Structure 1
């Protein structure tokens, strides 16, 4: 009994660690657009989001019940399975955070649970119908619905304000953005904090502390809300940069439309008990808002990396969870090995992040982050402010056009662009040679 009690304590602590990573991993969902448009300063934004995440954790337990009694069958599941599932989810969260990719913490948790349960008790331990109806289908529908809603809202906003000065109305939209960002934060706390509540409740059920079908105890609700709020306050600055500047360039009108659309979808899903990915909803809304403005563009290179991460989340976390469960089946020493591997892996990822740290001071300095924006600095070692973002037309063409087929065309193009990139005039003799003597170019 002492071993079970100690193991349960380890699982509860690990679940709260996951909740913490969920908080800083998903801060971007609520505050990336608010920060990118200048509606709020970075530290103020994450503090507000943290407080509302905590409040949202007390609003509902429907999603928690979906996880604790819906994804996998409680009967026959050992407490070690929950521990192994959390290991897979935490490591995937940290890896995608390092890469600055807004992947789904929810799907990482589901993947870990499914992989560990299958390794422990076979495929019969997974409720396939629940996975399809309450996880996979919402995963596909949520970004599409949120994106369409944000795109239509953006177009409607610009149409209503067609006769007004955009700069004059921007202040009002920034104020609206603050309100909509608060709504997203509240929705995030309502949806995502419940996932940890559900996991802890499931662990307590498997350990014999609670009866199957029980609601999360009050101490579970409070601790889960505190953990996600603390993680949110620390801020996942890498992912905030990707969401705020890497996908598209947003104006206050678009930011307001994106956040309102995302919050509506998330709150509706929480009410229905769908364990929705807030990351996918908010990312879809940001892309929809980017396409909703005339002349706007989505950086599909960044979006493609994000889509790949979404597709890999369930299987990757599932494989790690299954491997961790295989080790825990070996006994106490296996549980200890998994715990050591979790700590070592987390430490290695954190050390790797220190090579190019990102904080609230440079979170929107896109010229220094090639991963988030897909862009390279103008000059190596030059100041970050020297980089000029590509124009809308140029970016759109670059995103959809194939590279030139003739090398002879590529070299003169690079020469002609050199003055713009270096911002320094070329002497007349050099220019004359480049224009009048194309022979050397053709031979390269």
Structure 2
């Protein structure tokens, strides 16, 4: 039970860090174009991050991405091997938190999602002596494929929506159009924050759900009589989880709350990269980039594919910049970002493998 509690705490810490690490993704353009002050933008984004929970539960009726993440590690493999999967998840979470904090400190908009996925895969492989049947390779291959597909889809959507929007408003006076698009950016920013919440909160839900399923035997035999207000809360009932779709309400509520609170923490270094260094952004371009990103993320949530919000918004901003001219995009910065994206999964996997080895030494 102690390890399970540690996993839940680490997962929510990661979710909180994910919030302030990725906060710039949904508010960069709305701040750079001076539609909202940084503090107003953060509160706006945090609110809609949490609104995403109600959309997932009461409108979509499912948490599909959570289900995908919970299946990255082959739990049957480790149960047959007699290995404690809790140690794998702890190593993965520590590695993911470490990489997220490092890239945040350096102002690199890397993917929190891929950090988590790399950590889970790396720790599992280390525990299985690098037997690839210990992980769900088809799911991981699809996720890796979307490292490239997600920003491309975002770029194409950003380019197309910008061209259509510019054509539709070509006869409107520039000052009037700018005023309209400053207001519309509030809508597009809200949409992007909702899609960010839908995607990223569910990834941590998947980790907690996997941990709950993996620890069902220990939960069933645990003595909960000494737990605080046990008679009122019935802790065992809140922890018993039969499958990845049988999720208690406290899990998504905790995850969506953590990412919303993390968003309120901000992410100013990454905001500068996302808002200014890739290409200059106007209110119209901010609106189209955010709209393209939101549509892309809603699509990937629909197909239950965990993608990087960072990759999508970067691709959308590039697509918007290209509509002016190819040279409007600072390709040097973009190439550096691409390298960070490519390296995130393998570096996180190596870190997780290292942490797992260290944890095993301590446990043994």
Range of TM-score over shorter length: 0.7 to 0.9
Larger Rg: 1
The TM-score with structure 1 as length reference comes to: 0.71
Counterpart of 1:100 (choices 104, 107, 111) is 107
- Name the stretch that deviates more: 163-172 or 9-18: 163-172
Bigger mean CA deviation after superposition, 149-158 or 82-91: 149-158
- The aligned residue for residue 12 of structure 1 is 8
**4+ aligned runs moved over 6 Å, structure 1:** none
**Are 1:197 and 2:198 counterparts?**
no
1:181 and 2:181 equivalent? no
In structure 1, runs of 5+ residues without a counterpart are: 335-444
The match for 1:78 among 79, 82, 85 is: 85
Contact 1:197-1:224 within 8 A present in 2 as well:
yes
- The answer on 1:116 being equivalent to 2:123 is yes
Number of residues of Structure 1 aligned to a counterpart in Structure 2: 327
- State the shift of 1:27 in Å: 0.9
Contact 1:155 1:293 in 2 (8 A): no
Please give the alpha-carbon distance, in whole angstroms, between the structure 2 residues aligned to 1:299 and 1:96. 20
Alignment deviations for residues 3-26 of structure 1 (CA, whole Å, 9 cap, x no partner): xx1111111100101001110111
Give the match for residue 137 of structure 2: 128
Q: Please tell me whether the aligned partners of residues 257 and 289 of structure 1 are also in contact (alpha carbons under 8 angstroms).
A: yes
Mapped to 2, the partners of 1:215 and 1:328 lie a distance apart of 30
Moved more, 277-286 or 124-133: 124-133
Deviation of the 1:42 alpha carbon = 0.8
Distance 2:94 2:332 in 1: 30
Deviation at 1:246, TM superposition (A): 1.1
- Contact kept, 8 Å, 2:155 with 2:315, in 1: the verdict is yes
Q: Secondary structure at the match of 2:361?
A: coil
Match of 1:272 in 2: 303
Please state which structure has a larger fraction of its residues in helix: 2
- 148-157 vs 311-320, which deviates more? 148-157
Shift of 1:138: 2.0
Q: Give the structure, 1 or 2, with the largest relative contact order (CA under 8 Å, sep 6 or more).
A: 2
Q: 1: CA distance between counterparts of 2:251 and 2:22?
A: 21
Partner of 2:169: 161
Query: Whole-Å Cα distance in 2 between the matches of residues 164 and 225 of structure 1?
Result: 40
1:64/1:216 contact within 8 Å kept? no
Report the CA distance between 1:123 and its aligned residue: 1.7
Deviation at 1:100, TM superposition (A): 1.0
CA distance in structure 2 between the partners assigned to 1:194 and 1:215 by the alignment: 14
Q: Please tell me whether the aligned partners of residues 20 and 262 of structure 2 are also in contact (alpha carbons under 8 angstroms).
A: yes
Query: 1:198-223 CA distances to partner (integer Å, 9 max, x unpaired)?
Result: 11111111222433434322111111
TM-score if structure 2 supplies the norm length? 0.87
Aligned counterpart in structure 1 of residue 151 of structure 2, from 139, 143, 150: 143
Is the partner of 2:4 in helix, strand or coil?
helix
